[in-house]
Amino acid sequence: MKKIIVTGGCGYIGSHTAIELIENDFEVVIFDDLSNSSEKTLERIEKITGVRPIFEKIDLKDERATEFAFDRYKDAFAVIHFAALKAVGDSIEKPLEYYQNNLYSFLNTLMCQHKLGIHKFIFSSSATVYGNPDVLPITEENKTQRPFSPYGNTKKIAEEILDDFTKSNPNFAAISLRYFNPIGAHESGNIGELPNGTPNNLMPYITQTAAGVRKKLMVFGNDYPTKDGTPIRDYIHVVDLAKAHVKALERLLNQDQEQPLEIYNLGTGNGFSVLDVIQSFDRVSNTKLNYEITGRRDGDVPKLYAATNLALEKLGWKAEKGLDEMIDSSWRWEQKYRNNKNDI
């Protein structure tokens, strides 16, 4: 059984990926500082898979602590690196905190695994590296641009570091996965997106508003050059996204990669506006969401949606779940969590 280190594995995407890894017979070791997650996530993973991942509470910004942790698991075959702060708006208000957290943790992880001879790496990147794209849908051939937020820029900088590093170390192989907009929850309803404090992403804010936790959803801007004036994004089910990581890992372990660093878009190829998502939620939940149109939010671009041909060709991966299914699973998770906090 191959051992995989998953940094940020108690977070939203990391935890769903841990489930898919376990169900594909990998041994999962989670490194997480729990700054935006909960140790109860380990219980939720175990409830779904029957296996409790190995867990190390660790601040990856701390180089010495990271070295000690990696030394305990130097028999690992690969690292999947999720650990990062990820809120666009928050990063604009606290840029130095984002650069310090996201880049220190990235560099320490990369240096420690390299020192121990763990030469396979998957990076959790973002479509924000494309900035405001000139051409849609976005292919991997689109040039990256200076993102509109420090969060996005940390992903762009990390990819540039990874590119330099893989060129200088031919035995090191990496895949960077550029996510579009993950939403949804595991079909069991036992795990889903659960941010600490006020959500920064659309879907948990919608479900928390519908559940009465929030009074109102604020829609940031209806004057964009889109069909209804609200921003358009490529929403992808988190389970589809998690499965892509398993496919990428298999490509690395089978040594199928054609370049030291390969980059893939992960989306559905379809763009939905914020109002599309709200209307879908109303339909799926049979409720009427309370929302208000307000001014634009710094860091948002009008349209982002992916071309995903390369992931299909090279990874054998394609998103399978539609928008209504994404929203239905998010709503079921929210309801189950609010009604059974002590049981999940």
Active site residues: 151
Question: In one letter, which amino acid is 79?
Answer: V
Name the pairing type of β-strands 232-233 and 272-273: antiparallel
Sign of the alpha-carbon torsion through 220, 222, 223, 227: positive
Query: What backbone phi and psi angles, to 5 degrees, belong to 140?
Result: -65, -15
* Sheet hosting strand 232-233, strand order edge to edge: 272-273, 232-233, 303-304
Q: What is the biggest distance separating any 2 CA atoms in the chain, rounded to whole angstroms?
A: 55
Length of the chain as a residue count? 344
Sign of the alpha-carbon torsion through 56, 332, 180, 260: positive
Instruction: Give the residue carrying structure tokens 């935890």.
Output: 15
Distances (CA, A) of 10 to 14, 59, 119, 155, 207: 6, 13, 23, 20, 21
